[in-house]
Each structure stands twice: as C-alpha cells, then as structure tokens.
Amino acid sequence: MNNKKEKTREYILEKSSQLFSEKGFKEVTMKDICEVTGLSRGGLYSHFSSTREVFEALLERITSEDEFDIEEEIKKGSSAVEILNASLTRIRKEIEKPEESLSIAIYEYAQANDSKEIVRLNQRAEEKWSKLIRYGIEQGEFKKVNVNEMVSVILYSYQGVRMWSKIMPIKKNTAIQITNNIKNQLIIK
Amino acid sequence: MNNKKEKTREYILEKSSQLFSEKGFKEVTMKDICEVTGLSRGGLYSHFSSTREVFEALLERITSEDEFDIEEEIKKGSSAVEILNASLTRIRKEIEKPEESLSIAIYEYAQANDSKEIVRLNQRAEEKWSKLIRYGIEQGEFKKVNVNEMVSVILYSYQGVRMWSKIMPIKKNTAIQITNNIKNQLIIK
Amino acid sequence: MNNKKEKTREYILEKSSQLFSEKGFKEVTMKDICEVTGLSRGGLYSHFSSTREVFEALLERITSEDEFDIEEEIKKGSSAVEILNASLTRIRKEIEKPEESLSIAIYEYAQANDSKEIVRLNQRAEEKWSKLIRYGIEQGEFKKVNVNEMVSVILYSYQGVRMWSKIMPIKKNTAIQITNNIKNQLIIK
Amino acid sequence: MNNKKEKTREYILEKSSQLFSEKGFKEVTMKDICEVTGLSRGGLYSHFSSTREVFEALLERITSEDEFDIEEEIKKGSSAVEILNASLTRIRKEIEKPEESLSIAIYEYAQANDSKEIVRLNQRAEEKWSKLIRYGIEQGEFKKVNVNEMVSVILYSYQGVRMWSKIMPIKKNTAIQITNNIKNQLIIK
DNA sequence: CATGAATGAGAGTTCATTCAT
DNA sequence: GATGAATGAACTCTCATTCAT
C-alpha cells in the first residue's frame, strides 16, 4: 500500500502549500501543518521531519511541474512574439493571484538556508529568457537590444512586483504596465 | 538623565539594525537583542517591549533620515538628468552592499504586520519618481514616455534586485544593466 | 507453522541480545529491535509486547542453557581443584569478552524491575560455590576456610570486575589476579 | 546576587542526587528534576541544560569532597592497621545504606558516556590502596602479599557488593565477611 | 531604575502501541 | 497473521515576559 503513504504525502504538500503561501516559510511550524492536515504529530513526522523538508518537497514539485517551456515552443516554430506574449501573460496571471503564490516563502526559505536550488532556478530562468530574446532578434521580430540588460529588467522587475504585491495592494495595472514596457522595448513596431 | 535613556535607545537601534539585516525580521528575538547590546532583559524591556517595537523605531529613523530629496533638487534648479543620475547611483550603491540592507527585514515585517508604513513609503517613492519624470519631460530632457509605466519599471526592478541580491550572488553588473536600461528609456540621445 | 513462529522468536532474541549487550536494558526501545531484526512493528508485537518481555525471555534462555554444573561434576568424581579451576576459567573467559556480556543490561533490568529472577540466580550461584568449597574441604584438597566468607569474596569480586570491565578498560590481568587470590586462599600448598 | 543562583544550584544538586540514587542515571528526566525541585522548566534550564550536566556537577562535588585521605593518615603517623580498619569501615557503612548511594547512577552514566572521570576515580582508588598496603608491609604490620592482586580483590569485591546490594537484599553480613577476608589476608596474626 | 532568576506557554521530537488493510 | 501508517503521551528545549531584589 505504498499508495497510501504517497497519497498522504501529497495531501500534506497540498495543505501546507496554502500555509506557506499565507505565512511565508519562517512562521510555519510543524504543529501548524498538523492542524491543517488533521494529522497527529507522529503521523506528520513519519513523512517529513521538519518544515524545511516539507518545503523542499514542495519546491521540487513546483520546479518539476515546471512551466511553459520556451525552448519547446521555439522548436514548434511559434513566433517569438507569440512566445513572449504567452510568457508575459503567464507571469502576470500569477502575480494577479498573490494568495496562491509561494514567493514570500521561497524568499524566506532561501534567506534562512542559503539554498542552491534557488540559484539554480534563477539561472534557468535567465537562460530561457536569453534564448527567447536572441531567437526574436534572429527572426527579425525583436529590436537589437542588449540581451543581458533586457533579461535583468524582465526578471527583476517581475520579481519586485511579485513580491511586493503579496504584502501591498499593488494597483492592478502595475503588472500590465511592466508587461507593456517590456513589449515596447522588444517588439518591432 | 533623559539623555542617557535616549543614548541607550540609539545604541539598541544601532546594534539591532545589524541583527535585522543579517537575519531578517522574523528570526530576531528579544534575547538576541539582549545579547548583542549586552543589556539585561529588564533593561531592554524598559526601552522596547517587542522586536516589533524596536523595528518600528528603526523604520522611523530610516524614513526620517530620508534620503536624497528630489523635490528639493528640482527647486534648486538641477537638471532632470543630473537628478536621475544621482538617484540611480544612490540605489545602485545601496544594492552593492547587501550586508547593510534591511530589505529582507522590512519585507518580513511588512508581511507579518500588514503595515501601512510600508504602503506609505512606497507611495512617496512613486510620487517622487513621477515628479522627476514629468519634470524631465517638461524640460525637454526626457522622452515622452508613459510616466506610470516608467515608474513601475524603475521601482520594482530595483526592488527585485535589491531583495534577491541579499540571498543570491547576483552578478555585479545586473544593477548597472538595469540603470542603463532606465536611462536609455528616459534620456534623449 | 508453529515452527516458524518459534524460529522468528529465536531470531529476535539473538539480535536483541546484541543490542542489550551494547546499550544496556533501559536504552533499548521496541523500535530499535524492529530495526535490527527487520521486523515490522506489528510483527514484533505479535511475539513480544515490551522490551521487558524480550529481555525476560533472554534471561530465561541464559539461565536454562545454564552453565557448567558443579553438582554434576562432583557426582562424576572430579577433584575439587579440577572443578575450581574449570569454574574460575569459565568466569575469566567471560570477563575477557565484555562486548558479549549482558551484565549491564541484567543490572539495569534488575534495578528497574526488582526482579526475583535475579535474586534466584544469585542464590543458586551461592549454593553451588558453597557445595564446591565444602566438597574440597571434605576431600582434604582445600584449606578449612570460612565457607560463606569465601563465597562472598568469589561472587562479588567477579561481579565487580565483570561490570566495570564493560565500561572501563580494565587491565587484562585483573581477572587473573583475582583468580590467583582465590586459588591461594583455597588450595592447600 | 550571585549567591542566589549558587544556592539554587546547590539545591538542585541536593534534590537530584536523591533522584539519581533511586532511579539511576538513564531514567531521570529534566522533568523529574523540575518536579522534585519545584522549579519551572526554564528555571532549571538556566542552571543546567541536561541531566548529564546535572550529574557531572554532582560527580564533581562528590570527588572533590573526597573522602578519607589515606596519604594524609600515613603522614600523620597512624598505623597501617588503623588506616585499614578505618577505610574498610567507611566502605562498609556506605554499602549498608544503599538508598543514598549513587553507584548505579554512576555506572549507568559511565556506560552511556564513556566518561574519563570514572577511569580517573578508579585509578586514584587503586593508587591509594597500593600505597596503604606497601606502607603496611614496610611497617611490618602486613603480610608480604602480592600488592596488585590484593588491590584488585579489595576494589572489585566491594564494587560488586556495592552495586548488587542496591538491587538485591544482600545479607547484612556479606560486607562484613568481605571485610574479614581482606583483614585476614593482610594483617599479621 | 536596572538586573537577571524564574515562569510558563509552545514548538520540536521520539516512541510504545493500536488498527485498518 | 503481518504490515506499517497513524495516534498520542511524554520529553526536550527556547523564549517572551514578569518581578523580587
């Protein structure tokens, strides 16, 4: 019945994801997780032995589910503009429901654990965006911008919005404004 | 005697600022502050009765010290480009020494306390930047950009870098790239 | 099938004997026994329902395996000196490999459970030694010592060495010295 | 008011000594010590942070209080027989009130912590007894026994009785018998 | 007033023991 | 029967907070 154990595990991740999303990483306790899952102390501990472990499992799930695959899209022959639009829309949507986002928790986790995982995630994102921009330039769809510069602006301006939107009522159109700015800097005409 | 009390207070803020900078807001305890200040439990409590209070005093000090005053500069007749350069340089310098920055702590504090102070700080920054950009446009120094859009990009891309640079070794020139991007979007020629 | 149950039982005793020998009685948990035997919780519990039960089964096995039977030897007509030598050698050998000895565990068990079994074991040993010494005196092989006194010295000096040798690197010849002392006190010439 | 802290410390040692004497080392918990002392969790922890620490402080106290000093007596010019009698009487008395003895606890502690302290204690005892016996031989009061052999018998037979008397109702005269045996082996006439 | 000993709430962790499968 | 997931009691340990000195 390995299945049962696996199911409980998934259930714990599900429920604690909500917790981490609300309270960040540092303020979640094993007791909290017991409460939201309805598990007993010992029950929870037989699956994970610290909030850190739970969170790492969660991180793994997130990064493996991965997301929109820019490289895949390039292979499929989608145009750079299409891919750009799709990518920016995905980010914007995510920002628009901050209650589901783990960004604070990821941030706190990273600070408390100097995690390499986070660095890796960031590098991967950088690479993807670089590829897309180069692809757009090659295709004649994008202006001949400084690629690294553009990637930095994209990544960090979204990070900034994403993070602050969780703790401040950010005007709805802020994300749209940033999206527009990026598009204007990139797309020809 | 009031003087002595005031001095101790300042001393506590000084020392705990380092702590908050290292560990963020949530992980600092009153005990920690006792230890770094060398004060007794009772001694510390006679000045502040929670880490929150200490942190709020710190916030107040920071926001009152305030910084470079854009409005002041406009009145002085400085050119928009000069003010822009000075402002961007100040931000970049701050990002370059993340060990002194309270950004994580401010962030954690804000999340845990849904503070209005943070919202206010943000609004003030928005207003300042709006003013500067409008001033530049009026003076014919800046391109006729969409002001709100530009302000969003500026504020959040820097926030993004500022925060992640505390937990990740961010390439030194990332901040420069963002600075350049902003200048290119704004300054004519 | 009863056979299988019996075999598992033996296997559990075997494995947990090692554990008790290393860690004493009080520090061994049912979980430990599960681990060394590879049995599941429920599996183990269907044989024994506490470490105490396991240990008592172990004790029983030890005392029934019994050892060198002094009375038997007397009947066989062995000389008192021969029996003495054999008995002392057996004890000394046991002391020389403390890693196999359950003496600590027995001691801890006895203290925690005020067991009558231990008292009985001790009485039997006393009786055996009394018989042997009286036999030796009757045979004219042993000096006319005070029997009870001699038995006490024999039993407790060995107990002392046995126990401390488990926790201290006792000089190898300590056991030999005690053996010699006893022989000198007993054997004529 | 360092005095107050010191007093509480002493009080804790006092009370926990009783506990260790009853239950040995392994079964005493910090909670138990809280209960017998009437201290709160935090209160106790500000003095000692584990049962091990408490026990070590206790050990230190015991070994420094030290005991009857054989060397001192030799210097004073007491006869070897007098010193022997006094020493054996002290041990016998101690054995007669097992409820006050820490021997089980020391033993369990030593087994769980491979303590060097215990080894040292034992060495010191060995040295003292060796000195006394040599002194007695020099003075012509003691028979020319094998010193090391005699020391082993003395130390370990008493250890054996001391330990088992805590867990078994040992006949009152066992200790006397051993004492007599030792005297007979040593004292001339 | 300052000090630091003491309190007590609450988080972490481990196991004996049970019980649905 | 055997299995191992889950329960819950009992410990360990850490701090915010109080209060006698």
The answer to whether C43 touches C49, Cβ cutoff 8 Å, is no
**Residue-averaged pLDDT of chain D:** 90
pLDDT tens digits, D33-87: 999 999 999 999 999 999 999 999 999 888 877 666 788 888 888 999 999 999 9
Q: Looking at B37-41, C65-69, C74-78, D85-89, which range is the least confident one?
A: C65-69
The Cα–Cα gap between B163 and A159 comes to 9
Among B11, B31, B59, identify where a domain stops: B59
- C147 to chain D: nearest residue by CA? D177
Residues B93, B133: one domain?
A: yes
**Residue-averaged pLDDT of chain C:** 90
Residues B7, B28: one domain?
A: yes
Among A13, A34, A59, identify where a domain stops: A59
Q: What are the chain A neighbours of B112 within 8 Å (beta carbons)? A: 24, 27
Tell me what pLDDT residue B154 has: 94
Q: What are the chain A neighbours of B22 within 8 Å (beta carbons)? A: none
Tell me what pLDDT residue B173 has: 86
Residues C71, C162: one domain?
A: yes
Residues D84, D41: one domain?
A: no
B145 or B72: whose pLDDT is higher? B145
CB–CB of A163 and B104 under 8 A? no
How far C72 CA sits from the closest chain D CA (Å)?
Answer: 27
Residue A28 has pLDDT above 80, yes or no: yes
pLDDT tens digits, B106-164: 999 998 887 788 888 888 899 999 999 999 999 999 999 999 999 999 999 999 998 88
Residues D31, D97: one domain?
A: no
Residue A53 has pLDDT above 90, yes or no: yes
Round the CA-based radius of gyration of chain C to a whole number and report it. 19
- At residue C142, φ and ψ (nearest 5 deg) are -105, 155
How far C111 CA sits from the closest chain D CA (Å)?
Answer: 5
Q: Which nucleotide has the shortest C1'-to-CA distance from B31?
A: F15
In this structure, chain B runs to a length of 189
Whole-prediction pTM value? 0.86
Nucleotides of F under 7 A from a protein CB: 1-21
Residues A29, A77: one domain?
A: no
Taking residues B62-88, report their average pLDDT. Answer: 85
pLDDT tens digits, C18-58: 999 999 999 999 999 999 999 999 999 999 999 999 999 99
Cα–Cα distances (Å) from A5 to A18, A46, A100, B157, D163, in that order, read 21, 10, 26, 43, 49
Residues B91, B163: one domain?
A: yes
Q: Looking at A82-91, B165-174, D16-25, D118-127, which range is the least confident one?
A: B165-174
Residues D23, D107: one domain?
A: no
State, as a whole number of angstroms, the distance between the CA of D118 and the C1' of F10: 31
The Cα–Cα gap between D82 and A31 comes to 67
Say whether B101 sits in a helix, a strand or coil.
coil
Residues D40, D88: one domain?
A: no
DSSP C100: G
Q: Looking at A108-117, A156-165, D8-17, which range is the least confident one?
A: A108-117
How many structural domains does chain D have?
2
Instruction: Tell me the pLDDT band of C64, cut-offs 50, 70 and 90.
Output: confident
Residues B32, B106: one domain?
A: no
For residue A100, the domain's CATH number is 1.10.357.10
Cα–Cα distances (Å) from A183 to A87, A96, A129, A163, in that order, read 11, 19, 13, 22
For residue C35, the domain's CATH number is 1.10.10.60
Provide the sign of the torsion angle of the four alpha carbons A58, A59, A60, A64, taken in this order: positive
Residues D153, D122: one domain?
A: yes
Using a threshold of 3 CB pairs under 8 A, tell whether chains B and A touch. Answer: yes
Residue B74 lies in domain: 67-186
Instruction: Tell me the pLDDT band of D1, cut-offs 50, 70 and 90.
Output: very low
Tell me what pLDDT residue A70 has: 82
Residues C73, C37: one domain?
A: no
